[in-house]
Amino acid sequence: MKENPRRPRAERNRVRLISSRIRGEGPHAESPLRRGVYLLPATITSIGLLSGFYSIVSTVSGRFETAAVMLILAFFCDGLDGRIARASRTSSQFGVEYDSLSDMVAFGVAPAMLAYWWALRPIGSFGIGVTGLFVLCGALRLARFNVQTATADKRRFVGLPIPGAAIMVAGITLVYSYFDFDSPRVLCAIMVPITLALAGLMISRVPYPSFKAIKLDKPAQVQLVLGMIVCAAMLYAMPQVTAFIGAAAYVLSGPFLMLRGEQLSAKVSVLRPAAAEKGQESTAPSSDGAARNTRGLSPTPDTTH
């Protein structure tokens, strides 16, 4: 575009300066709306984190049903914040790390505390060891997810996700209370192998379905809609039993997929970082550099869970 020679020289220089600033910012420029949208996923993650903390407080106070309900609330928050972040394109490295820390409290420590105080406390140190193994495997599961998030298949999880293990503990707690069972020895004998199995499934390579690939803006099949209506009716009529059935169905879906012959893609080493993409070999992999690169840059898609 040719400049108007009739404009004063100072005005022409001002126009060139503004246009060069816009071109210099390029894709790194963020609108005030985009900076504000980041607050919504972080707020939902914070609600999930506080729900996990309140679950711990309820467990210590002996209100085990409330603790289980708080785990379910944290579960919904965990699924909602990731979907909102991906839909609004506000995923960031900060969101990934914050979500992992929240998951460690809400789905690692909180269900382990519930399992110990509610069922495994009579066996003392052995119960502490079993629930401690659950926390350890949950931390390893989250660390592996963060390492493999750029190369893993979006349709499948590698191992049982830690929210699924936590919801299984919450579901057992609710269904036990619903049927008003009162047999501490039987409960302890059941929870020990279940807790160990959940810990093992989290660090295994058993494939589990991922719901990230589901597109809510596409037409759904009639069977899927009817299934959702039935699930909603069961959740309204028998929420405790429905929560247990749903959690058990998801936990068993991984071994079912494996027995059906489904295999995951090639293994990704957890002991070393994944190979850098083409054109990024020269970038330093240090955490300080990663923090500098993510600060003010456009968000990275499909990194939250």
Asked if 64 contacts 118 with a C-beta cutoff of 8 angstroms, the reply is yes
Amino acid at the residue 173: T
Asked if 201 contacts 159 with a C-beta cutoff of 8 angstroms, the reply is yes
- The pLDDT of residue 110: 97
CA 128 to chain CA centroid, nearest Å: 25
Sequential DSSP letters for 211-262 = GGG--TTSPPPHHHHHHHHHHHHHHHH-HHHHHHHHHHHHHHHHHHHHHTT-
Domains of the chain: 32-263 (1.20.120.1760)
Distances (CA, A) of 6 to 13, 80, 129, 165, 177: 13, 57, 83, 72, 84
pTM, whole model, 2 decimals? Answer: 0.74
Asked if 148 contacts 161 with a C-beta cutoff of 8 angstroms, the reply is no
Q: How far apart are CA 89 and CA 33, in angstroms?
A: 12
| Tens of pLDDT, residue by residue, the chain (305 residues) | 555 555 566 555 555 555 454 444 444 444 444 454 478 888 999 999 999 999 999 999 999 999 999 999 999 999 888 888 777 777 778 888 899 999 999 999 999 999 999 999 999 999 999 999 999 999 999 998 888 766 566 678 888 999 999 999 999 999 999 998 888 999 999 999 999 999 999 999 898 988 765 555 556 567 777 878 888 888 888 999 999 999 999 999 999 988 887 766 555 454 454 444 444 444 444 434 443 343 333 344 444 44
